[in-house]
């Protein structure tokens, strides 16, 4: 990895660029599972970046479950995103998808709690309809990403606060892109994955229907957190 | 239900007693799924208790998913805990089990977040061993409740704060009782339930291993919240 | 209140419209502190709306601390927003301000946690500069709303995820409007209020500087929650 | 610091022992504000402990706000607990106090949320009485620690779940010890500190009275988090 320079792009954080370029090497197979990454010092020098930039990139790789740190011996590649994922999207899209899910955890967690307290009867019906469509779309020829987005929009609307649905709308591009990829992987992947995705949505809908604000917020944040892990993990059923 | 008086017991909250006595009627089949409960006023008079006491009991039944409120038309029985559950434990035990899980959500959620930040290598190994034992105990003749408790104790110990394990120890009686019942139901119930219980523990262990404090706290609280729902819901696979 | 009909507006939730119209009566002094509101049934009939709509409006008035429920005897006006507030903004703006703060709790709470984990040295400096400007603007002739917004934007940027700052930007209209009003009240109000506003920002900055993700998220959500209460409470120092 | 060996004690985590012994050096003035700590490697060798043990001790010092890390240049002493604190308690007591507060954040945060949903009228009165006593005890000759503990016990009881009060009771020794010290510092310290302590309790009581579960949990966790910082920070008004 040492012979490479950071290709600097305008208007993008250095930490993000470095993250993307290490991720590219993992995807390309230049860095394989179990391989040790260069030390922080070596990365600083190889890419001509400061230590905080290196730490930020490593922290993000860590949070995405791509590398692991064994105390006292360094940082190692933990897993490689699936070939399916890397055929479907570019590296910068993967970073964008993960970033988008991070925002949604705060935003939609709050919306789900409020929906449990305020949803009207027709709003609850729309949530359940979207859930039924999502369930069907895994067996049909339908497109799960649309049903998935419809579910999350229905929850946002049921919060009784129009700002939630509006902000979600602004994220709809990256969200639907990410869902398309994640659910594409899920369908290609296995029945196990599809089952888990459906169960997570069911837990959200149940908690909203029961009027349990704490459980609804928890179920939504748990689902988005797991989705984040599913993006980078093609090997296993999450 | 109107002809019954509240049998008052010493040292127990009136709201709890009323909760228990309505739950008994649901379990005994005197109140069936879909039946409408008397109005708040009628319950006040029938049991000679104040309105806040009635509200507390109803709120608890609601939180436990046993009744549902249709706005403008009243409160209805939503489901009956399974016969298996009611054969295994008394009504006051069910209330105790639910109460105990409520405390654990706060306590163990915090412990899991700290464990993600502080667990040593041997502590992580003990968590993974307990997970393996739990997984095996569903197929073997082993006792899942012991393995389950061992898992939660291992997480508490990995928090690096001895108070968490000590408080958990103080709750060990009700916890193991509840686990015995819940896992008994799970084994009797279906493979689906067992799978879900195992998956929830896996998500906790993974987040602790990845050092992700937010995900670990979330996964623990989600698991305990779902366990709470499993206690009162024998019909479905939760 | 009974003689009034709900003036229906397009594209606005009925519950919001009802909320606004009851709030107007409180502000206008038609409903005074301690006055009992009509029953849910009476409101349904007076405004020709369904019971869920009435409940939603009442729940919101409750959450805003404007009414209180005494169990068994009904809903009462708890306090009247200050004259200052009602001179400064229209009722629909007050509702918008509260709604905007509700979204920010989820969004900025998450951003503050991430900022504690990822902020670079220059990002931390910008947070501290904004804090210093905010502190000065209460004594100077400066405009606190600009400094306040600059502080929150600096935290969002330090999250290392550009979506947070972008979404905040989209809310900048209502946010700055609300800050102008709230801080206007604060300056007009008392030194106590100004001190509290500054202290809350200090707690956020300290936690981010210390790298404590949990404390940073907590401090941000606590601050926005208190801000919400300050909007409707002109009498006391919050 | 290099010439010292870790005095190993039975039954106490190595990380805790190391934490305590570095803390002792800070308190004794052997390590002063701004001083650089030895590197992880040097500490490993000086105390004959493993690197994870060193990291755990450093992380705890960091979380307690006693040291700070400047990326790329090492770990530095940030502040020294006040002389008052160190006159009042031994080092192991300080560690115990911090540990106890950490548990209470999870436990009492949950209890406060439930209290907001379930407190009866007499339970709310007891919370407000304890608040009034606490307020008075800062001006009187009374003992704030007793009033403080009474407040927290009243909130736990209002949760409607007896386990919360029982677990709090089990922690009452360390809690009252810690409160005695913290409030002792507060009285000795300044009016500013006393004011803040009272305000934090007021925010908890208000949210419980308003029935706002989210705000109540948030206010309680914020208060305990700030208390944690007050223990080690004698210089400033927190």
Task: Kindly state whether C124 is in contact with chain A, defined as any CB-CB distance less than 8 angstroms.
Answer: no
CB-based contact B222 A226, cutoff 8 Å:
no
Task: Kindly state whether D39 is in contact with chain A, defined as any CB-CB distance less than 8 angstroms.
Answer: no
Rounded CA-CA distance D108/B218 in Å is: 18
Q: Which residues of C touch D221 (CB under 8 A)?
A: 218
With CA atoms as reference, the chain A residue closest to D214 would be A214
Task: Kindly state whether C50 is in contact with chain B, defined as any CB-CB distance less than 8 angstroms.
Answer: yes
With CA atoms as reference, the chain B residue closest to A70 would be B121
Query: To probe the interface with B, which of A103, A216, A226 has the most B CB atoms within 10 Å?
Result: A226
Q: Which of B2, B76, B74, B3 is nearest to B43 (CA)?
A: B2
The percent of chain B in helix, strand and coil, each rounded to the nearest 5, is 70, 5, 25
Q: Which of D66, D127, D145, D73 is nearest to D98 (CA)?
A: D66
Residue-level pLDDT, tens digit, chain A, 238 residues:
444 455 555 455 677 778 878 887 887 778 888 888 888 888 888 888 887 788 878 877 876 678 887 655 678 888 776 666 666 566 667 777 788 888 999 999 999 999 998 888 899 999 999 999 999 887 755 567 788 899 999 999 999 888 999 999 988 877 777 676 666 666 555 677 788 889 999 999 999 998 888 999 999 999 999 888 877 665 444 4
Chain B: give the shortest CA distance to residue A10, in Å: 31
Residue-level pLDDT, tens digit, chain C, 238 residues:
444 455 555 455 677 778 878 887 887 778 888 888 888 888 888 888 887 788 878 877 876 678 887 655 678 888 776 666 666 566 667 777 888 888 999 999 999 999 998 888 899 999 999 999 999 887 755 567 788 899 999 999 999 888 999 999 988 877 777 676 666 666 555 677 788 889 999 999 999 998 888 899 999 999 999 888 877 665 444 4
Q: What angle do CA D36, D38, D42 make, to 5 degrees?
A: 170
Rounded CA-CA distance A95/A105 in Å is: 16
The proportion of chain C whose per-residue pLDDT surpasses 90, expressed as a percent, equals 27
Residue-level pLDDT, tens digit, chain B, 238 residues:
444 455 555 455 677 778 878 887 887 778 888 888 888 888 888 888 887 788 878 877 876 678 887 655 678 888 776 666 666 566 667 777 888 888 999 999 999 999 998 888 899 999 999 999 999 887 755 567 788 899 999 999 999 888 999 999 988 877 777 676 666 666 555 677 788 889 999 999 999 998 888 899 999 999 999 888 877 765 444 4
Q: Which regions in chain D score pLDDT beneath 70?
A: 1-13, 63-64, 70-73, 81-92, 140-143, 178, 180-190, 233-238
Query: How much is the pLDDT for D7?
Result: 54
Asked whether this complex has an ipTM greater than 0.90, the answer is no
CB nearest A51 (choices: D52, D72, D213) = D72
- Residue C67: its H or E element: strand C67-70
Cα within 13 Å of Cα(D117), Cβ side: 22
CB-based contact C196 D196, cutoff 8 Å:
no
Please answer whether residues D200 and D140 qualify as being in contact, where contact means their C-beta atoms are separated by less than 8 angstroms. no
Any long-range contacts for A191-196 (C-beta under 8 Å, 24+ apart)?
A: A192/A237, A193/A230, A193/A237, A193/A238, A194/A138, A196/A226, A196/A237, A196/A238, A196/B199
Q: Which of B111, A214, A169, C149 is nearest to D213 (CA)?
A: A214
Max intra-chain CA distance, chain D: 62
Query: How much is the pLDDT for C184?
Result: 63
Task: Kindly state whether A221 is in contact with chain B, defined as any CB-CB distance less than 8 angstroms.
Answer: yes
The percent of chain A in helix, strand and coil, each rounded to the nearest 5, is 70, 5, 25
List pLDDT tens digits, range C8-37: 554 556 777 788 788 878 877 788 888 888
Task: Kindly state whether D158 is in contact with chain C, defined as any CB-CB distance less than 8 angstroms.
Answer: no
Q: Which residues of D touch C224 (CB under 8 A)?
A: none
C-alpha D214: how far from chain center = 22
CB nearest A100 (choices: C59, C111, C163) = C163
The three-state secondary structure class of C95 is: helix
Q: How far is CA B73 from CA A158, B39, B70, D207, D232, in A?
A: 21, 10, 6, 30, 56
In order of start, what are the domains of chain B with their CATH numbers? 14-80 (1.10.10.10), 84-232 (1.20.120.530)
Q: How far is CA B152 from CA B108, B124, B141, B156, in A?
A: 8, 12, 21, 6
Q: Which of B107, B120, B110, B108 is nearest to B201 (CA)?
A: B108
Task: Kindly state whether D199 is in contact with chain C, defined as any CB-CB distance less than 8 angstroms.
Answer: yes
Please answer whether residues C186 and C143 qualify as being in contact, where contact means their C-beta atoms are separated by less than 8 angstroms. no
């Amino acid at each position: 990895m040492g012979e490479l320079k950071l290709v600097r792009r305008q208007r993008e954080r250095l930490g993000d660029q470095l993250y993307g370029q290490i991720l590219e090497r993992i995807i390309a197979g230049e860095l394989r599972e179990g391989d040790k990454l260069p030390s922080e010092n070596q990365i600083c020098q190889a890419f001509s970046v400061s230590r905080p930039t290196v730490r930020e990139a490593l922290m993000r790789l860590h949070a995405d479950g791509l590398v692991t740190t064994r105390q006292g011996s360094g940082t190692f590649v933990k897993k490689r995103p699936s070939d399916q994922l890397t055929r479907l999207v570019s590296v910068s899209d993967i970073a964008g998808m993960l970033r988008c899910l991070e925002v949604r955890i705060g935003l939609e967690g709050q919306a789900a709690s409020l929906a449990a307290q305020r949803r009207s009867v027709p709003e609850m019906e729309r949530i359940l309809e979207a859930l039924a469509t999502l369930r069907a779309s895994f067996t049909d020829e339908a497109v799960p990403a649309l049903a998935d987005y419809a579910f999350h929009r229905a929850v946002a609307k049921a919060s009784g606060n129009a700002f939630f649905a509006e902000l979600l709308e602004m994220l709809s591009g990256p969200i639907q892109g990410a869902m398309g990829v994640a659910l594409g992987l899920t369908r290609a992947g296995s029945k196990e994955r599809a089952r888990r995705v459906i169960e997570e949505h069911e837990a959200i809908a149940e908690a909203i229907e029961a009027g349990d604000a704490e459980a609804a917020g928890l179920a939504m944040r748990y689902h988005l957190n797991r989705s984040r892990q599913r993006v980078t993990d093609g090997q296993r059923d999450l």
